[in-house]
Chains A and B, each alone.
Chain A
Amino acid sequence: MSKKIDAQQVKKVAMLSRLDLSDAEIERFASQLSEIVTYVEKMNELDTEKVEPMAHCLGITNRFGEDRPAESLGTEKALANAPDHDGQFFIVPRILEENSA
């Protein structure tokens, strides 16, 4: 049986997810993902002709909160677990904008 997911697709998904995979991992995940897709394909055996597509798993709608501000964390707590901060901002490696001045 040919693989449903090949190494190229795994590499693409890894790139989109910012994952750095070794060649061995790519091979292994391609096999595993193919097995998962094959398993889910069992669904195709069902007749879904008269079933509406679902946007939500529970079939519930209209759950809202009212527009009343509640207390936030505050800066000190918000930054407490950050790998790096300056007391006001989260500090991250310099963001490079392509070609920007």
Chain B
Amino acid sequence: MAKLKYKGLIGLEIHVQLATASKLFCRCAVEFAAEPNSRVCPGCLGMPGSMPVMNKQALERAILAGLALNCNIAEFTKWDHKSYFYPDLPNNYQISQYDIPVAADGYIEIETQPGQIKRVRIRRAHLEEDAGKNMHAGNYSQVDINRAGTPLIEIVTEPDMSTGAEVRAVAIELQRIVRYLGVSEADMQKGQMRFEPNINVIIEQNGDEFRTPIAEIKNLNSFRAIQGSVDYEIERQIEQFLESGTVMEMGNKSTRGWDDSRQVTVLQREKEEAHDYRCFPVQNIPPVKVTPQWFDEIRGRLCELPLSRQRRYTQQYGLSDYDARVLTAERGVAELFEAALKAGGDAKRVCNLITQAGMKLAKEAQINFDEFGIKPDKLAVLATMIDEGTVNASAGDKILTKMTQSEASPDKIAEDENLIQKSDESELEAVVDQSLAENPQAVEEVKAGGKKSKKARGFLLGQVMQKTKGQANPKVVSAILGRKLE
């Protein structure tokens, strides 16, 4: 068979839970894993007569997310009833946005290869409320309304991605962006970020172009699952096309679920029933006008976004792609890094401190490195101490560990813990002389040259280190040894 020419066409529908303290239209607390049905009130339970009041911070976060995704923000926006019946939706309608989303026509950028940027267009992003949760138990179902009314943004992209790796990259980038801006905690395991790819494939065969029926994939709980399911689905659709010749037509879109243990997608719904949501404007939530002054105030909360920061770190500081990515993953860490450079720290040295010992400590404490509260100027001092040989790298790690536990300055810690390297020539020369006098055989071997010379020199260096309890600066000792043994 001739090699088949094809291209995946993938769009994403993404739900992101906003990190507010209370719900979108009532003031019940938003809390993961709270006692079932405890964070509910007449409003989110859908009791007649209750009135919704919009959470201002939720709206502002939605606008901020829209700005970060390079969208146009609507000056006038409103909410609509979207009617459907499901037990986790107590009102029998969802409050969503139909014809005037808060944000539209933007894009998100991903790095497909180092230095190569791809743009994925965003069609719209709107603010809506989440539903509760249903659990299926034997011959009945259990309903928990706690999540109902939690603010969500629904983001819809154009079908601009063509591989599982690209979809994964968009998902990761979006998570970095919303976390950076404090818009969402975006934990996929907690359902705070949910991705539903829509996939089909354009296949070229005998000079003709065919499009396979679209499948929407649900049940994706990790970035790995996103990538795996998209790549699997592209393969499956090509095979199905070659077997049956079925192409996309009205009404043959299907819904498939990802089975993570078997690494396959499973048919859930064959034909998309024509939904009739009967959308109409909500009357008990007044529309929103975003005044220029308010808009500017929200825009002022934007910051340099992770991808551009990451690229700047490789170009400006000469860091590796990997290091730049690790440093920019969390906004607080990136800001600490930059503040330490401003305070005089060397970029590569500060980077090593944070990404190596620092990240390990943070992981053990289950926080981000910046949350230790280490002051950037102290971090800079530590970096300089290592650079100048005042302490060696492993002592540097020990000092950093102490710095996560107390407010003491690195030089004070180094002194208290006896970690300062001895670089004083005259002091070290005396120790070297003593070691040479005690080990005449090794001295002979070095002077004789040949096979044993190198090993004997190492032995003598070891003797000096031992006598100084490891505090001698090995570079200085080597230099003295070299001079004496010529």
Contact = CB atoms under 8 A, between A and B. Distances in A.
Interface of A: 16, 18, 55-58, 60-70, 72-75, 78-79, 86, 88-95, 97-101
B87 A73 contact: no
B249 to A, nearest CB: 20
Interface in B319-352: none
Contact of A91 (B22, B86, B141): B141
Given A55-B287, A89-B37, A89-B135, 17 more contacts: A16-B83, A55-B78, A55-B100, A62-B288, A64-B55, A64-B59, A66-B57, A70-B27, A72-B39, A75-B37, A89-B143, A91-B142, A95-B87, A99-B268, A99-B270, A100-B268, A101-B259
A90 B289 contact: no
A98 B36 contact: no
Contact of B141 (A69, A78, A94, A99): A94
Interface secondary structure of A, over-half rule: loop
A100 to B, nearest CB: 5
A75 B55 contact: no
Given A55-B281, A58-B286, A101-B266, A95 B78 contact: no
Contacts of B278: 16
Interface string B274-298: 0010100101011111000000000
B129 to A, nearest CB: 14
A78 B22 contact: no
10 A-B pairs closest in CB distance: A89-B142, A64-B56, A67-B57, A69-B29, A70-B27, A65-B53, A90-B143, A69-B22, A55-B78, A72-B28
Contacts of A79: 37
B142 A86 contact: yes
B27 A65 contact: yes
Given A67-B55, A94-B140, A89 B281 contact: no
A19 to B, nearest CB: 12
Contacts of B353: none
A53 B382 CA distance: 65
Given A67-B58, A99-B267, A90 B37 contact: yes
B287 A56 contact: yes
B20 interface: yes
B224 to A, nearest CB: 21
Interface of B: 20-22, 27-30, 35-42, 45, 53-59, 76, 78, 83, 85-87, 100, 134-136, 138-145, 257, 259, 266-270, 276, 278, 281, 283, 285-289
29 contacts: A56-B281, A56-B286, A58-B286, A61-B287, A62-B286, A62-B288, A64-B54, A65-B55, A66-B57, A67-B22, A67-B55, A67-B58, A68-B27, A69-B30, A72-B40, A75-B35, A79-B37, A89-B135, A90-B37, A90-B143, A90-B145, A91-B140, A91-B142, A93-B140, A95-B141, A99-B268, A99-B269, A99-B270, A100-B257
Contact of A95 (B22, B100, B136, B286): B136
Contacts of B257: 100-101
B140 A92 contact: yes
Nearest to A99: B268
B36 A75 contact: yes
Contacts of B36: 75, 88-89
A59 to B, nearest CB: 9
A88 B137 CA distance: 13
A88 B37 contact: yes
Nearest to B141: A95
A65 B58 CA distance: 10
Nearest to A13: B278
